[in-house]
Amino acid sequence: MEQRILSAENNYRQLDDYLTSHGFKTVMLVCDSSIRFLKLDEYFRQAEERLGIRIVRFSDFQPNPLYESVVKGVEIFNREGCQGIIAVGGGSGMDVAKCIKLYHNMDPNENYLKQEIVENDVPFLAVPTTAGTGSEATRFAVIYYEGVKQSVNHLSCIPDTVLFDPSTLRTLPLYQKKSTMMDALSHSIEAFWSINSTEESRQYSRIAIKLVLDNMCGYLKNEEAANRKMLEAAHIAGKAINLAQTTAGHAMSYKLASIGHIAHGHSTILVNEKLLPWMVNHTDRCIDPRGREYLEDIFLQLAHALGKSSPLKACEYLSEIVKKLEFSRPEASEEEIEVMVHSVNLIRLKNNPIALDEESIRKLYHEIVIKR
């Protein structure tokens, strides 16, 4: 599916056209409380008076959203007669909106997670407010049911339209801007070496990597043009992982972020900084069915995408980026390292081109953290 990309220029004229062209009477807006800091907040407050479109806001969810929140959202969507969905936010808001879209036409008397998803054509517009997750470009969503993470995966939940609004990035704290940018870079890198990679996914990765590196300085200075380019970078990186999926870099990052009290993107780049050189030096453990020589060429292509002549120089460059962004290394005890080792998602490890055993993961964590 080719997504339509809208611009925020001219006071959201293209958004006006999108809403009126669909003939909406009522639309659900999925957003968290941070929308009050955005220009879009006032836009949606005036939508009924200006455009004759009723906006039903749904904000009853939290980070790491619960299944129960999605159920409430579905109930409200159907009760209010909503004809479309708009999601404004980061990963959590996007995930909730995706699931509401998927579940709204299913049996409310049965657990949605146990039912077969039936594709639907409810219009779905996404407005990412961070340049990192790329969730607006993927078929994946995560919610929690009875404390257990549930991965939802269906093409029907990909938004048909995306609005890039650089002004949404202006109020982000600098640390969050840095970490979300590194999430986009990690998506691009992991999609490049994933065993599921294709020439299409690698081309998306190349474009996203170049956009991140070319616009990093301007984005961190909050320049509007660079903010727009970073939104594009995260989106294209999302297209890459939508095809290739993430690998050990993400599998190892989640518990590290939790134990180290650091942001997700911070965690992923710390892992990938150490994972890439380890993999370059262990191509004899290649499990990509296309073979060791193929994988060695992939590492060379990745180096070139990063603007470097060899995989070794690319490894050094990742370390330079971590240092430039002043990302600290979290402390962890031996017991916490063991918790991290045993937390790694084996499914994501299967996407990794180099086989990782428990001892290898343990050694990598010892390189990533400062031993407490």
Per-residue pLDDT tens over the stretch 119-139? 999 999 999 999 999 999 999
Mean pLDDT value across the chain: 96
Instruction: Give the pLDDT confidence score for residue 1 in this predicted structure.
Output: 67
As a whole number, mean pLDDT of residues 63-85 equals: 97
DSSP single-letter state for residue 309 = S
C-alpha span between 132 and 253 (Å, rounded): 15
* One domain, residues 189 and 227: yes
- Give me the sheet containing 85-89, strands edge to edge: 4-7, 161-164, 124-128, 85-89, 26-31, 54-58
* One domain, residues 191 and 328: yes
Mark which of 169, 197, 222 sits at the end of a domain: 169
Domain of residue 298: give its range: 174-371
* One domain, residues 150 and 187: no
* One domain, residues 163 and 206: no
* One domain, residues 121 and 217: no
Confidence of residue 225 (pLDDT cuts 50, 70, 90): very high
What does the block give as tokens for 207? 């474009």
* One domain, residues 30 and 111: yes
Q: Where are the beta strands (DSSP E) in 129-233?
A: 140-145, 148-153, 161-164
As a whole number, mean pLDDT of residues 2-16 equals: 95
C-alpha span between 372 and 370 (Å, rounded): 6
As a whole number, mean pLDDT of residues 242-267 equals: 96
Instruction: Give the pLDDT confidence score for residue 99 in this predicted structure.
Output: 97
* One domain, residues 226 and 146: no
As a whole number, mean pLDDT of residues 158-165 equals: 97
Confidence of residue 220 (pLDDT cuts 50, 70, 90): very high
Confidence of residue 2 (pLDDT cuts 50, 70, 90): confident
Mark which of 146, 169, 192 sits at the end of a domain: 169
The contacts of residue 61 (CB under 8 Å, 6+ apart) are 32, 69, 70, 73, 92, 93, 96
Mark which of 127, 154, 169 sits at the end of a domain: 169
Domain CATH number, residue 269: 1.20.1090.10
Residue 175 clears pLDDT 70, i.e. is over it? yes
* One domain, residues 8 and 123: yes
* One domain, residues 152 and 196: no
Domain CATH number, residue 95: 3.40.50.1970
* One domain, residues 214 and 329: yes
User: How many domains does one find in the chain?
Assistant: 2
pLDDT, tens only, 260-318:
999 999 999 999 999 999 999 999 999 999 999 999 999 999 999 999 999 999 999 99
* One domain, residues 134 and 72: yes
Instruction: Give the pLDDT confidence score for residue 346 in this predicted structure.
Output: 81
Give the phi and the psi of residue 172 in degrees, each rounded to 5: -70, 135
* One domain, residues 321 and 198: yes
C-alpha span between 362 and 341 (Å, rounded): 6
pTM: 0.94
pLDDT, tens only, 326-351:
999 999 999 999 999 999 988 889 99
Helix (H) or strand (E) holding 128: strand 124-128
Residue 104 clears pLDDT 80, i.e. is over it? yes
